[in-house]
Amino acid sequence: MAQITYVFCHGLNGSGQYDKRYEKKPYWGRASGDVVAALRAQGYSAFAASVAPQGSAWDRACELYAQIAGTTTDYGAAHSREYRHERFGRDFSGQPLVPEWDDDTRLVLIGHSFGGTTIRLFSELLAHGSPEERAATPADELSPFFRGGMAQRVRAIVTLASPNNGTTAYELARDKSFKKPSVKVSIKSRLLDRFMKAVVRIKTDGRDARDWANFDMMLDNAQALNGRISTIPQVYYLSVACDATMQGPGGTCIPSESLIDPLLMRSSTYMGCYNCKTDAGVVADDEWHANDGLVNTVSARAPFGVPHKPLDRDNMEKGVWNVMPDLRVDHGYFMGGYLKKQNPHPFFQDLMNLLENLD
């Protein structure tokens, strides 16, 4: 009988079970209590992965595989050569995230924010591998991850407030032509604004600038990444987008003070009035204004161009993105909030009930 295992993948600057800071402040729940631990206490096989806080979707997917399989992280011979970093990373042999990993395992992958992008690429590589890595690596040295053929091990993919099509939060941070409106915010919100600018420019260890999360979340690059990620016919897809704004003047959206965390007030305001057309022709118009403080609501619903439909709890379809109604919360809700404490436990309990009833 198939073993259903839930793996949670954090977003930017997050943490998981392999990180000491997770013990003091769990990414999944924070002050409200560890969501993953609470689910385990109820009998669910649930685990919190620890991937690179600011790494690219590729690097994070490779780390996720190494943790689940209990092996050495292999970023791939072709990838590591092109992006100028070591091929091998941390060894998880003897300390796997998932106790049993075989063809009877059925993973339910739950990703928040950039964790959603990570699990989507992870599932693609698990199913189809990498032609580039197969071409660059002798067969006896090739990671099973790059060989593919394991699509049956994924049961469902759940993205929570994920930048499935990128986010304008990173576009506007580097757009010198954008005239930012005046916003009265806390000093911590101003610090977040500085952080966003710093992340856009991040280069810390000599690797290629394309091998970071901020690159993958730019609109053009997100579309390119979507082009290599397929929708797997036998997998359930479920997405949750968030909206913490209300209609403003002239087609803008402004953050709702009752919903938005003070830390996100400035970024939400900027996103709510930012329009652009990228070099590759992606148009972020008024439809992109609604947001959760870090991710545009329209981007979080589903990757553009894939089969999708509103969620029907009694008839979830495989190979189709089942889109939940937008939640009226901000980006930090699934974590338990930033400055404003929130309780995501009821949401995750409802999510488990929904996922447990799948065929």
Q: In sequence order, what are the residues at sequence separation of 6 or more whose Cβ sits closer than 8 angstroms to the Cβ of residue 135?
A: 78
Tell me if 330 sits within 8 A of 242, measured CB to CB.
yes
CATH of the domain at 188: 3.40.50.1820
Average pLDDT over residues 5-33: 97
Average pLDDT over residues 178-206: 65
Tell me if 47 sits within 8 A of 5, measured CB to CB.
yes
Query: Is a pLDDT exceeding 60 seen at residue 180?
Result: yes
Query: Is a pLDDT exceeding 60 seen at residue 276?
Result: yes
Residue 239 has, within 13 A of its CA and on its CB side, a CA count of 31
pLDDT recorded at residue 165 = 99
Model confidence pLDDT, tens digit, residues 239-258: 999 999 999 999 999 999 99
pLDDT recorded at residue 193 = 59
How many domains, in total, are found in the chain? 1
pLDDT recorded at residue 359 = 77
Query: Is a pLDDT exceeding 80 seen at residue 274?
Result: yes
Type of residue numbered 18: Y
Query: Is a pLDDT exceeding 70 seen at residue 187?
Result: no
Tell me if 207 sits within 8 A of 292, measured CB to CB.
no
Q: Which band of pLDDT confidence, cut at 50, 70 and 90, is reported for residue 261?
A: very high
- Provide, for the chain, the percentages of residues in helix, strand and coil under a 3-state DSSP scheme, each rounded to the nearest 5: 40, 15, 45
Model confidence pLDDT, tens digit, residues 298-325: 999 999 999 999 999 999 999 999 999 9
Residue with tokens 């996103």: 271
Residue 299 has, within 13 A of its CA and on its CB side, a CA count of 36
In percent, how much of the chain has pLDDT > 90? 89
Residue with tokens 């329009």: 275
Give the domain range for residue 335: 3-356
Angle value at C-alpha 201, between 200 and 205, nearest 5 degrees: 120
- CA 292 distance to own-chain centroid: 14
Q: Which band of pLDDT confidence, cut at 50, 70 and 90, is reported for residue 1?
A: low
pLDDT recorded at residue 206 = 79
